[in-house]
Amino acid sequence: MKRYGIIGNPISHSISPAIYNAVFPTIGLVATFEAWKAEPEEVAGFVERLRGPDLGGMMVTVPYKERVMTLVDALDATAKAIGAVNCIVKRDGVLTGYNTDVYGFTRSLAEAGFAARGCRALVLGAGGAAHAVAYGLAREGAMAVHFANRTLRRAEEAAAHLRESAEMPLETGVVSAEPDALAIACAAADIVVNCTPLGMRHGGSEDRSPLDERCLRPGLWVYDTVYTPPETPLLRLARAAGANTVPGLEMLIYQAVAAVQLWTGMEPPVDVMRRAARKALGFDA
């Protein structure tokens, strides 16, 4: 039986085994999916083991998405552009690093009914998720992507990186994370995407929203990449204000859909993966 897995640290909270072990049998793949806790000095060994016949493919999570870039044989263009790998594919003995977070975000956004072409976007945060989201928006034809971040310097770096990596020219900018500045920036935006951990269950800020009511209005799209709880404080406020909301679990599910497509060439049933993820997170208990 082939083995697949995810490396990261910490990893015990990962719901990836639940998602992949639910979907593999439905596409006739006889394989198991495991969570592997890796210390920094073990990461290269895990990637090397992937060359053996028993392992089929690997997901990579925090804090190793950048580190594995130097350990694979080749990089997909998207992974190279955003500087992070979350999925390793083995084909004819060659290990290629992909980034499926971008697909996870853009596909879930399209499924929700948002057309990114020509939009003005505000991204909250400047870390790994913000880079993937901003690149995805740019690739889908956004007219402008602005970053608001607690540390303004990192927002400036994210904007500069986006200008360099985007395939088409677009307007970029930075905004202070102060409430007044955010209210003005939101008024000019069609969509706001939270890429900070604010509102995350067990994250120490579960009751906090990165935006207040003044930022929210009917017709605005609000996407929260935080996927637990199912309705974060931001999404609750946004829904109450009449905004369109998209929860982060959809990004998580579609990045896993893309991984299965890359590993097997098959189209997995999304509903099976969503059900398994919701069950593992205790949403339907």
- Sorted by sequence, the CB contacts under 8 Å of residue 48 that are 6+ apart come out as 71
Cα separation, 27 vs 18, whole angstroms: 15
- CB–CB of 193/160 below 8 Å? no
Residue 99 within binding range of ligand NAP, rule CB under 6 A: no
> How many chain residues touch ligand NAP (CB under 6 A)?
26
Q: Does 3 bind ligand NAP (CB under 6 A)?
A: no
Q: Which is nearer to ligand NAP, 46 or 64 (CB)?
A: 64
Question: Could you say whether residue 258 binds ligand NAP (CB under 6 A)?
Answer: no
Minimum separation from the CB atom of position 15 to ligand NAP (A): 11
Report, in Å, the least distance between residue 66 CB and ligand NAP.
Answer: 10
For position 106 contacting ligand NAP by CB under 6 A, the verdict is no
Q: Is 65 a catalytic residue?
A: yes
> What is the contact mask toward ligand NAP in residues 45 to 84, using x (rule: CB under 6 A)?
-----------------x----------------------
Closest CB 224 distance from ligand NAP, rounded Å: 8
- Closest separation between CB of residue 214 and ligand NAP, Å? 18
CB of 54 to ligand NAP, least distance (A): 28
Out of 65, 80, 90, 279, pick the active-site residue: 65
User: Distance between CA atoms of 66 and 264, rounded to whole angstroms?
Assistant: 24
Render the burial of 137-168: b for 16+ CB within 10 Å, e for the rest: bbbbebbbbbbbbeeeebbbbbbebbeebbee
Residue at shortest CB range from ligand NAP: 127
Q: What is the CA radius of gyration of the chain?
A: 19
Q: Would you say how long the chain is, in residues?
A: 285
Q: Does residue 101 bind ligand NAP (CB under 6 A)?
A: yes
- Check residue 126 for interaction with ligand NAP (CB under 6 A): yes
Residues within window 190-209 making contact with ligand NAP, judged by CB under 6 A: 195-198, 200, 205
Of residues 5, 57, 136, 248, which one binds ligand NAP by CB under 6 A? 248
Residue of the chain from 26, 110, 118, 151 that contacts ligand NAP (CB under 6 A) = 151
Which of 135, 221, 227, 263 binds ligand NAP (CB under 6 A)? It is: 227
Closest to ligand NAP by CB, 90 or 138:
138
The span from the CA of 30 to the CA of 232, in Å, is 36
The residues assigned a catalytic role are: 65
Positions in the binding site for ligand NAP (CB under 6 A): 62, 101, 104, 125-130, 149-151, 154, 195-198, 200, 205, 225-227, 248, 251-252, 255
